[in-house]
Chains A and B, each alone.
Chain A
Amino acid sequence: MPLVFAGVVSHGPGITGRYERADKELREALYENFYRLGAELKEARPDVLIVVAAEHFANFFMDNMPAYAMGMAEYYEGPIEDEQWLGIKRRKIPGNAQLSGLIVEKLLQRFDLAYSQEWQFDHGIMVPLNFLTPDYDVPIIPVNINCQGPPLTPLARAYDFGRELGRICAALPERIAIVGTGGISHWPATPDSGKINESWDREFLEHWLSNDRAALTAYSDEETYLAAGQGGFEIRTFIAVSGATEGCTGELYFYAPIPIFAVGCTVARVKLTL
């Protein structure tokens, strides 16, 4: 059946690890919207949640870097980071190996993606799950798009990957939800940490909310790096969700630059009309 839920969220480690240093009102408004999206996800009664993430050299490194990878394990573990540093306790997270395997097989008809039967989630997945499925009761199928070590997959390819994924899900009987997690502009873990290009973010979000494929995929990586930092490369995860929900517009629940979280914190949902 068509996707039962789709959205995007930010994921910086500071969101949980340095929460006490953020402006209290902003932080609470962000958390509230995270939980709101989580409640709506629950209402959609998903059998499985696909998380399109951009991990940060936790499992995927430059010795053998796939442009796209999908988890295919019975369970995952995370966070890989120090529990206290991230503010999230380590645990097992259920997967769905059988369904993953089926989706990988179908994706391979058009995309040479990698699969992984062992995957330690980093903050890129753990921070969203901490809010969206805090009981860790929804099986996860993780997807990684390399947004860390260039050369990176072209943006149009990320859109098309999402579109293919959406099509495949629609033909399956399971109730499948999808959440993308990434940038928008940010300079994570660098001396410029905390810098956020709000006008760039808002323009990108306009394209995302209207699911404007041409505008979403028109950025060059060089442009993005200069205007939006390395973290800007993670727009690929948002764009993949746009591909998976082509023809649908979105609703912005929350956007605010929160410098100590090192990102323009975003929570948005796709209004599915698939």
Chain B
Amino acid sequence: MSLYYVQKLLYQLNRDPHTRSRYETDIDSLLTDYDLDEEESAAIRRPDIGLLYVMGVNGQLLMHYAALHGFEWDEYIGAMRAALKEHGSVRAGLYGSVDSESKF
């Protein structure tokens, strides 16, 4: 579980044209630069926007990844809502902190 690196990949993808072109042409080599487990790699490749949300990816990063894959706004919101039903509540990160001990 390496939420930090999932988010780092999306952060760099959003801001760096070079990362974006590697993403388009050679995603295998790009993904090896980040410490990702199998579920994370698979969710990024699909992409499974809803599952990425449940894993704890921040919406400020995720909405751009969804847009990159052509998700309209309502589709993006819908994907997260559907994943919450399918997988249960957010597992980690800020949104996962509500029920657990304070992360603040």
Residues of A within 8 A of B (CB): 14, 18, 56-59, 61-63, 80-82, 85, 120, 148-152, 188-191, 193, 220-222, 225-226, 230
Contacts and interface: CB of A to CB of B under 8 A. Distances in A.
B14 to A, nearest CB: 7
A153 to B, nearest CB: 12
Contacts of A81: 14, 64
Please classify how large the interface on chain B is, using the bins under 10, 10 to 19, 20 to 34, 35 or more: 20 to 34
Nearest to A17: B73
Contacts of B60: 56-57, 148, 188-189
Contacts of B42: none
A220 to B, nearest CB: 7
A82 to B, nearest CB: 6
Given A57-B60, A150-B94, A221-B104, A191 B67 contact: no
Interface of B: 4, 7-8, 11, 14-15, 53, 58-64, 67-68, 73, 77, 80-81, 84, 94-95, 97-98, 102-104
| A interface, over-half SS | loop
Contacts of A230: 59, 94-95
A220 B104 contact: yes
B62 A225 contact: no
Contacts of A80: 14-15
Contact of A189 (B15, B63, B68, B103): B63
A225 B77 contact: no
Which of B4, B63, B81 neighbours the largest number of chain A CB atoms within 10 Å of its CB? B63
B17 to A, nearest CB: 11
A188 B55 CA distance: 17
A188 B14 contact: no
A136 to B, nearest CB: 21
A150 B103 contact: yes
A85 B14 CA distance: 13
Given A61-B7, A152-B104, A191-B81, 19 more contacts: A18-B73, A57-B60, A61-B11, A62-B4, A80-B14, A80-B15, A81-B14, A82-B68, A85-B64, A149-B94, A150-B94, A150-B104, A151-B104, A189-B59, A189-B60, A189-B63, A190-B80, A191-B53, A191-B84
Contacts of A221: 104
Given A57-B58, A58-B15, A191 B80 contact: yes
B67 A85 contact: yes
